[in-house]
Amino acid sequence: MALPRAFLSFDFDHDQTPKILFAGQAKDKSPTPFAVEDWSSKKHLPQAEWEKLIKEKINSCHMLIVLVGKHMGTATGVVKEIEMAKARDVPCFGVYVNGAGTTSTLPTGLARNNVVAWKWETVAAMVDKCARAGKNGRYAGWA
């Protein structure tokens, strides 16, 4: 059975290093393994082209994981990615990175009770929660 696929949403300007570390550790450290694809845009694209590309990528994932850093208030792309995931019934949750915590600003659309510390046990619990959140069995068996 294929691993569940996660789209990582993060502040491109401030949280590149945590994104690389999180993606690299996900398969081996998480008690519930999942695959992280590096689907972030590698170059600046016109808005409509970027939105089309990201919508396709999010739609091919089982969940969206938001890496919540200290500068989330300025990460407008993250807010759009959360909106896109919700519009496609793709469950999402957040993980605090880069010194962010329970008093840090969250991006619009991400509830505080869906954000956890970067401990692999808590991340795994959220991955499991996403597995149960799919509509009409979309995520059953991570097909």
Residue-level pLDDT at 74: 81
Residue-level pLDDT at 139: 47
Residue-level pLDDT at 13: 87
**Residue 123 pLDDT exceeds 90:** yes
Q: Widest CA span of the chain, in angstroms?
A: 39
Task: Tell me the pLDDT tens digit for each residue of 37-67.
Answer: 766 666 678 889 989 999 999 998 999 999 9
How many Å apart are CA 6 and CA 135, to the nearest integer? Answer: 17
Q: Please give the structure tokens belonging to residue 61.
A: 């994932």
Q: Which amino acid makes up residue 54?
A: I
- Report the predicted TM-score, pTM, of the whole model to 2 decimal places: 0.90
Residue-level pLDDT at 40: 67
Would 120 be classed as within a structural domain? yes
- Structural domain of residue 30, as residue ranges? 5-38+47-136
- Helix (H) or strand (E) run with residue 81 in it: helix 76-87
Would 70 be classed as within a structural domain? yes
Would 142 be classed as within a structural domain? no
Would 143 be classed as within a structural domain? no
Would 141 be classed as within a structural domain? no
Place of tokens 């059975």: 1
Place of tokens 């850093």: 69
User: Under 8 Å CB-to-CB from 94, ≥6 apart: which residues?
Assistant: 65, 66, 67, 68, 106, 110, 114, 115, 116
Task: Tell me the pLDDT tens digit for each residue of 62-108.
Answer: 999 999 999 988 889 999 999 999 999 999 999 999 999 999 999 99
Would 56 be classed as within a structural domain? yes
Residue-level pLDDT at 72: 87
Residue-level pLDDT at 39: 67
Task: Find the CATH number of the domain harbouring 22.
Answer: 3.40.50.300
* Residues 98, 72 contacting (CB under 8 angstroms): no
Q: In sequence order, what are the beta bridge partners of 94?
A: 66, 115
Would 33 be classed as within a structural domain? yes
> How many domains, the chain?
1
Q: How far is CA 32 from the centre of its chain?
A: 15
Would 12 be classed as within a structural domain? yes
